[in-house]
Amino acid sequence: MATAKKTTAASAKKTVVKKTATVATKPLAPVAVASEATIFSATGASAGSIKLPAELFAAPWRADLVHQVVVGMQANARIVTAHTKFRGEVSGGGKKPWKQKGTGRARHGSNRSPIWKGGGVTHGPRVEKIYAVKINRKMRAAALASILSRKWRDGEIVFVDTLATAKPETKGAKATLVALASASGKPELVTKRKNAAIIALAKKDTNTEKSFRNMGNLITEEVRNLNAVDLMNKRFLVIENPVEALPLLSARLGK
């Protein structure tokens, strides 16, 4: 016993050396410094330039945050329509199908059982199920800035001075889009058949909305309503009147 105690005490005094593995940290993606952008006119000519705010167009790409916000917004927009009935909600029952013994068949107490045709459903979808999740305001803002910065670095943002028209006219809107695609060097703005672009207006303009409404490859939205889901679903972003539009976006970030 004494020998065992001495051995235990000696082993306890030994120092255990732990090997620490050095984990290589992945470098952050390079962030482009916000610079000036060219503003085009509706005919494709240069109409000046604008200095881009760093909080909108120089944010790092955060794929995990963008994924979390997009999935959360899609869950919040989900409409639950599938609904099944439990055995207590279907019609029928009230009488034992046959007597308990003597028939040679399995015993049953109700034809509303889930194993019967026309019976209740076990663990089926219910309208009471809630898929909504909470998305913090700062998360939404950070995801929006991350997407805008990524699109700017990828050359997928076009600035135009005005898209206002005297009357709704799809032909004129199409000509404007072709001119912007040619001037900015982005032919897919016109040739892409699905999910081509978002036309972000500085303020509500019914004539402009109606002019672009017949084009199935793009959507028109006010810049104050831009969100991560729409930006990720569309390739290009056309911002009208950036002098007024960009301060509205910066205000959403709390800057």
Query: pLDDT tens digits for 119-172?
Result: 999 999 999 999 999 999 999 999 999 999 999 999 999 999 999 988 999 999
Q: How far apart are CA 237 and CA 234, in angstroms?
A: 8
Q: How far apart are CA 186 and CA 238, in angstroms?
A: 11
* pLDDT interval class at 1 (50, 70, 90): very low
Q: How far apart are CA 195 and CA 181, in angstroms?
A: 15
Residues 202, 248 contacting (CB under 8 angstroms): yes
Q: Which helix (H) or strand (E) holds 159?
A: strand 157-160
Residues 85, 119 contacting (CB under 8 angstroms): no
- Give mean pLDDT, residues 21-36: 50
Per-residue pLDDT for 65 more than 50? yes
Q: How far apart are CA 156 and CA 184, in angstroms?
A: 10
Q: What is the pTM of this model?
A: 0.78
Per-residue pLDDT for 84 more than 70? yes
